[in-house]
Amino acid sequence: MVGEGPDAAGRIALIWDESVAGDDFGPGHPLAPVRVELTVDLIRRCALLGDGVDEVLPPAFDEAGLLRLHREDFIGAVKRLSADPTAAADLEYGLGVGDNPAFTGMHGASLKVCAGSVEAARQVWEGQADHAFNPAGGLHHAMPARAAGFCIYNDPAIAVDWLLEHGAERICYLDVDVHHGDGVEVMFRDDPRVLTISLHESGRFLFPGTGAADDIGGDGARGSAANVPLHPGTTGELWLGAFDAVVEPLVRAFAPDVLVTQLGCDTHATDPLAHLALTVDDMATIYARIHRLSHEVAGGRWVAMGGGGYQLVAVVPRAWTLAFAEMTGRKLPIETPMAWQELAVERTGVTPPRAFSDDPVRTSEAMLGQARKAAEESVAAVRDLVWPHHGLGR
């Protein structure tokens, strides 16, 4: 597969542990595991598995791997609240309140997510799969000593670290979630072997409030981070324009051994926690762009994880099934299978869309003008501040 086009799919791995679905932050929390359950079920019912496309159960993750990126005292706090969620909240570590309420088994559940992302990395790096996808992963906000934004342990960063430890010399981490991929950036901001790129809604309007265009990495690795903040109302056309103008040249110049991606789909126009204006059709185009880049730049080595996305039924399963279909090179039906629609209603009470495609998004001219101006400014800033560190001219 190395060197071949993106349609020449080899073995593809879907990393999934059914037990992950039983672990969650509790009723009403936005990060509901049913969204991943419905994604995996939709992938199965769309006949994307089989003939070299395999579902893989990840082995247990060695807890010692956490200590490479997370502080021991923080891990201890997670364990304490995992054993007794009724204990007092630990505000120092971001645990037990707000975004990250404690629940029984929280430590073990978070380890399972890390296990899935490390297995995806291993499958690709060791040549067992050309592409691998862990839809339960992508918890990119966790910091070395603090949980944040629904994220306890930072599985994307742990997967990147595993790749570095096993011989990868250059890794590009590309984050298309609506929120800035802050945790991963922080963990590698001084490591020139890792280029983190994040396209996200501007921190002026959205959590975590970081990811400005002049945030370009630490003193030890200037240019190791590229951030493209976008204005509310940014459409798929504007988003893809920024991707083409910034991401493609930068990834090609960096020439990573592996492309690691976080595929948060909370950029959707209907997501309840954000304000961009993409459709699942736009997301399918994004996945195709990433797929092509993985072949043309990284020898086809593509490790993908889920991430944000809070339209649990209407968006997440369709978006990530589109991503997995892109990985496999297989066609999807025009409509989602009836049996899946019935399961979605049974599990959530919500009727999902019948089609895999969305209607166009309507955006006011005023909002569109603001979004276009902001995108142009972000692109220009990244070209001015980041490109020179990679030998690219303005």
CB atoms within 10 A of CB 330: 17
**Is 141 designated active site?**
yes
What burial class does residue 253 get, using C-beta atoms within 10 Å of its C-beta: 0-12 exposed, 13-18 middle, 19+ buried? middle
| Element spanning 166, H or E | none
Do 260 and 188 touch, CB atoms closer than 8 A?
A: no
Paired sense of beta strands 171-175 and 12-15, if any: unpaired
What order do you get walking across the sheet with 302-305 strand by strand? 53-56, 12-15, 131-134, 302-305, 258-262, 171-175, 194-201, 225-230
Find tokens 């204990």 and name the residue: 87
Query: Among residues 107, 131, 141, 231, which one is catalytic?
Result: 141
SS3 state of residue 298? coil
**Distance (Å, rounded) from C-alpha 41 to C-alpha 313?**
12
**Distance (Å, rounded) from C-alpha 364 to C-alpha 189?**
38
Do 110 and 153 touch, CB atoms closer than 8 A?
A: yes
Q: Which residues, other chains included, contact 261 with Cβ-Cβ below 8 Å and sequence gap of 6+?
A: 173, 174, 175, 176, 290, 302, 303, 304, 305
Instruction: State the helix-helix crossing angle for 338-348 and 34-45, rounded to 10 degrees.
Output: 170
Instruction: State the helix-helix crossing angle for 72-83 and 106-125, rounded to 10 degrees.
Output: 130
Q: How far is CA 80 from CA 16, 88, 105, 225, in A?
A: 27, 10, 10, 34
| CA angle centred on 18, ends 12 and 19, rounded to 5° | 135
**Distance (Å, rounded) from C-alpha 212 to C-alpha 197?**
12
Which residues are tagged catalytic? 141
